[in-house]
Amino acid sequence: MARRTILFASNIDDPAPWKALFARERPDIEFRIWPDMGDPQDITHALIWRIPNGVLALLKNLKAIFSLGAGIDQIIVDPEFPKDIPLFRLVDAGLREQMTEYALYGVLHWHRRMGDYARQQGAAEWRMHPAVHPSQRLVGVMGLGVFGTDIARKLASMGFRVSGWSRTRKIIHGVDSFVGEKEFRTFLGQSEILINVLPLTSDTRGILSSELFAHLPGGGALVHLGRGGHLVDSDLVAALDEGQLDWAMLDVFPNEPLPRDSPLWAHPKAFVTPHVAAQPVSDAAERLMLENFNKFDRGEEPTGRVDLRVGY
């Protein structure tokens, strides 16, 4: 069997534990770390989060590309991305549970008016607000893949009235399913709390815009943990200022890190987190990646294959 060589490239992941894992479990594999990739013709597999545009196209013997996270838009944005090479994304490794925790926190924070109580604490003001039962709260989940489905199920089990919007019809207990453009406005109209976990595609880029916000029930909330390219941040600021949205919890942005002069940092109705809704748990991510690599090596189908026609 021809020798296999992995190229590892990430601006956020420490390569040391990955290299140690492959050295221990697959000593037959050579492990190289960008930018020290040596002869590009040696590279047969790529484990990457980010890599400069054009580099993948230089790897003429590349057999497979594995994303080190759930997202792949930072990879396929490369105009020279080799579309004939299989691309796999990290499907779980602790990501699903974290995404669900983040979404539930956002929903409960607004549902239980914790922001109001925090402001009252600052003013030493003792005042109760009327309780709202979850069955009276409309929650919409945009995107019903692995993450969105788990979020929707958990919210439904807590008694919230949950709707989901996706490309194809889904059957999820306790969740009303909406599909496509024709049903989108109806879905938005019953999304007092809107959760975005869509993939980023040409159809969903910029979807969180003034046009969308205008079709939401006034004075609701947004929990955005999809992809940065979904958000038109100036439109969001306007929606918050005008009261179309009462509150937004935001984890991803069009430009990251979020520029220091962004009005979202200091906006009283915005809760900003630095792209931490779901971070691969180191050991679980490494093990899952090794398992996927071994499956591909044996001619089996790894989990998380990306369909480039739809973008996820």
Report the predicted TM-score, pTM, of the whole model to 2 decimal places. 0.84
What sign for the dihedral angle of Cα 254, 256, 261, 264? positive
Residue 91's pLDDT is 80
Catalytic residue among 227, 230, 267, 305: 227
> Residue 19 — very low, low, confident or very high, per pLDDT cuts 50/70/90?
very high
Domain 95-272 in CATH 3.40.50.720: yes
Residue 93's pLDDT is 63
- Using one digit for the tens of pLDDT, what is the confidence trace for 198-219? 999 999 999 999 999 999 999 9
| Architecture in CATH for domain 4-93+280-297 | 3-Layer(aba) Sandwich (3.40)
Catalytic residue among 275, 298, 305, 309: 275
Q: Name the DSSP letter for residue 88.
A: E
227 is catalytic: yes
Average pLDDT over residues 14-32: 95
Q: Where are the beta strands (DSSP E) in the chain?
A: 4-9, 29-33, 45-48, 64-67, 87-88, 138-142, 161-166, 175-179, 193-196, 220-224, 245-250, 270-272
24 is catalytic: no
- Using one digit for the tens of pLDDT, what is the confidence trace for 185-196? 999 999 999 999
Indicate the domain borders of the chain.
4-93+280-297, 95-272
Domains 4-93+280-297 and 95-272 alike in fold: yes
